[in-house]
Amino acid sequence: MKALVKEKAEPGLWLRDVPEPAVGAGDVLIKVARTGICGTDLHIRAWDGWASRSITAPLVVGHEFVGEVVELGAGVTDVAIGDRVSGEGHLVCGKCRNCLAGRRHLCRATVGLGVGRDGAFAEYVALPASNVWVHRVPVDLDVAAIFDPFGNAVHTALSFPLVGEDVLVTGAGPIGLMAAAVARHAGARNVVVTDVSEERLDLARKIGASLALNVSERQIVDGQRELGLREGFDVGLEMSGRPEALRDMIANMTHGGKIAMLGLPAEEFPVDWVRIVTSMITLKGIYGREMFETWYAMSVLLEGGLDLAPVITGRYDHRDHEAAFADAASGRGGKVILDWTS
Ligand SMILES: NC(=O)c1ccc[n+]([C@@H]2O[C@H](COP(=O)([O-])OP(=O)(O)OC[C@H]3O[C@@H](n4cnc5c(N)ncnc54)[C@H](O)[C@@H]3O)[C@@H](O)[C@H]2O)c1
Ligand SMILES: [Zn+2]
Ligand SMILES: [Zn+2]
């Protein structure tokens, strides 16, 4: 089968013929239809410090996908051939305290699809049936391809109650955009989105932000004033991984405000701890998705009319992966999809 492979420990990805994955007991084999390009894939392609420390070549990359089940391993009973599925890309140990307690998103030995084992940028991917999400509600194929990052957005956005609250989202990348859409849909009063890219701020406006603010030109406090907020934001969703964004967020929260932080900073950095303590701000780190409560929420949010269409801005055949990756790396558009069906 064809697959996008990190063949050598150097920058690049190569479309190669590789053997189809083995289907072990408890696994399902999925014929991949579409995949989403994630920041992680960009790191692996660029072969930066994180990638060269974390990845062992050769590796089939990719973890955001939708496809159709074509084969069942021994003992699989609750997934059927022909089911349309996406996959939870965190493979958990099943044995640690959190796994045994049903808190699989807190597993201490998570292995990432397309990071620690062969991934989904291929004609076929094999996964444990327990990592598969069957789309029982009809869903657009492109949206189904990005359930993994959509889940990051939902997990973060629904960490704290949002109804009637004023929400600040720092970072209008694909995940920040989806989080803003979820906050809006879930009943927030104002959703303010910040970024430094005008193109991405335009997407934030399309997805329903009350205000999209370019922080290279204006300050968040100006946005507060424009919307008539007097005491700061109730909920913050940090989606940029940038130190200045978290610092600005902390400075613009109300007393007792809640911050859910998904953005992954490249390094340690100082923040105003006195403000966090004296304003009694809650700061919660978010990793991945809750299995499978977040996935349930995603499906029913879409069923209830949540529209993610503006988030997807690039569609390419898998053979045009160079152009697709350049598009995704530009940092200007939304999500980029690769089609594997032709
Ligand atoms: N915790 C997890 O499980 C998890 C999973 C996936 C991604 N992530 C992280 O979540 C973040 C969002 O992912 P993404 O794919 O949308 O990333 P992205 O890099 O596409 O988006 C980040 C956005 O932040 C913007 N930005 C830069 N400086 C800013 C500032 N000062 N204020 C506001 N915005 C600023 C950038 O212009 C960019 O549009 C990234 O940091 C990523 O590494 C975490
Ligand atoms: Zn991803
Ligand atoms: Zn575990």
Distance 308 CA to ligand 2 centre (A): 16
Beta strand segments in 141-232, E: 166-170, 190-195, 211-214
pLDDT confidence of 181, banded at 50, 70, 90?
very high
Query: Which residues lie across from 28 on neighbouring strands?
Result: 72, 127
pLDDT confidence of 50, banded at 50, 70, 90?
very high
14 and 137 housed in the same domain: yes
pLDDT confidence of 6, banded at 50, 70, 90?
very high
270 and 208 housed in the same domain: yes
For 47, half-sphere exposure in the C-beta direction (CA atoms, 13 angstrom radius) is: 13
118 and 79 housed in the same domain: yes
pLDDT confidence of 253, banded at 50, 70, 90?
very high
Predicted local distance difference test score (pLDDT) of residue 214: 98
Atom of ligand 1 nearest to the CA of 174: 16
Contacts 24+ apart (CB under 8 A), 271-279: 271/243, 271/246, 271/247, 272/247, 275/250, 275/251, 276/250, 279/253, 279/254, 279/255
**Ligand 1: does its nearest atom lie under 6 Å from the Cβ of 28?**
no
Predicted local distance difference test score (pLDDT) of residue 196: 98
Number of domains in the chain: 2
**Ligand 1: does its nearest atom lie under 6 Å from the Cβ of 236?**
no
**Ligand 1: does its nearest atom lie under 6 Å from the Cβ of 156?**
no
pLDDT confidence of 35, banded at 50, 70, 90?
very high
In a domain, 292, yes or no: no
In a domain, 212, yes or no: yes
Nearest to 126 by CA among 58, 73, 169: 73
Q: Rounded to an integer, what distance in angstroms lies between the CA atom of residue 212 and that of residue 227?
A: 12
* Domain extent at residue 329: 2-146+308-339
Distance 230 CA to ligand 2 centre (A): 36
Predicted local distance difference test score (pLDDT) of residue 199: 98
22 and 137 housed in the same domain: yes
Predicted local distance difference test score (pLDDT) of residue 108: 97
Residue the block writes with tokens 């990638």: 51
110-121 pLDDT tens trace: 999 999 999 999
Average of per-residue pLDDT across 137-156? 97
Predicted local distance difference test score (pLDDT) of residue 125: 98
36-46 pLDDT tens trace: 999 999 999 99
In a domain, 22, yes or no: yes
Among the bound ligands, the one closest to the CA of 289: 1
Query: Which residues lie across from 169 on neighbouring strands?
Result: 193, 237
Among the bound ligands, the one closest to the CA of 218: 1
In a domain, 224, yes or no: yes
Predicted local distance difference test score (pLDDT) of residue 163: 98
The CATH number given to whatever domain includes residue 234 is 3.40.50.720
Predicted local distance difference test score (pLDDT) of residue 255: 98
**Ligand 1: does its nearest atom lie under 6 Å from the Cβ of 173?**
yes
Average of per-residue pLDDT across 303-321? 98
61 and 157 housed in the same domain: no
Predicted local distance difference test score (pLDDT) of residue 36: 98
Is residue 29 part of an annotated ligand binding site? Answer: no
Predicted local distance difference test score (pLDDT) of residue 72: 98
The CATH number given to whatever domain includes residue 316 is 3.90.180.10
Predicted local distance difference test score (pLDDT) of residue 157: 98
317 and 264 housed in the same domain: no
Catalytic residues: 40, 43
Q: Rounded to an integer, what distance in angstroms lies between the CA atom of residue 6 and that of residue 43?
A: 11
142 and 159 housed in the same domain: no
Predicted local distance difference test score (pLDDT) of residue 258: 99
248 and 314 housed in the same domain: no
159 and 267 housed in the same domain: yes
266-307 pLDDT tens trace: 999 999 999 999 999 999 999 999 999 999 999 999 999 999
Beta strand segments in 211-289, E: 211-214, 233-238, 253-261, 282-285
- Residue with the smallest CA separation from ligand 1 atom 17 is 173
Average of per-residue pLDDT across 95-116? 98
136 and 160 housed in the same domain: no
27 and 72 housed in the same domain: yes
Q: Rounded to an integer, what distance in angstroms lies between the CA atom of residue 42 and that of residue 26?
A: 31
Is residue 283 part of an annotated ligand binding site? Answer: no
Q: Rounded to an integer, what distance in angstroms lies between the CA atom of residue 152 and that of residue 141?
A: 18
Average pLDDT, the chain: 98
Distance 78 CA to ligand 2 centre (A): 26
Q: Rounded to an integer, what distance in angstroms lies between the CA atom of residue 279 and that of residue 257?
A: 8
Nearest to 132 by CA among 150, 148, 114: 148
Distance 257 CA to ligand 1 centre (A): 21
Beta strand segments in 7-63, E: 14-17, 27-36, 59-60
Average of per-residue pLDDT across 229-236? 98
In a domain, 61, yes or no: yes
Q: Can you give the pTM of this predicted structure?
A: 0.98
Residue to probe by mutation, ligand 1, list 175, 182, 246, 271, most atoms within 8 Å of CB? 175
In a domain, 59, yes or no: yes
Is residue 255 part of an annotated ligand binding site? Answer: no
Contact at 8 Å (CB) between 67 and 33?
yes
In a domain, 233, yes or no: yes
In a domain, 294, yes or no: no
114 and 162 housed in the same domain: no
**Ligand 1: does its nearest atom lie under 6 Å from the Cβ of 313?**
no
**Ligand 1: does its nearest atom lie under 6 Å from the Cβ of 331?**
yes
Distance 238 CA to ligand 1 centre (A): 8
**Ligand 1: does its nearest atom lie under 6 Å from the Cβ of 288?**
yes
Predicted local distance difference test score (pLDDT) of residue 13: 98
Q: Rounded to an integer, what distance in angstroms lies between the CA atom of residue 21 and that of residue 6?
A: 16
197-229 pLDDT tens trace: 999 999 999 999 999 999 999 999 999 999 999
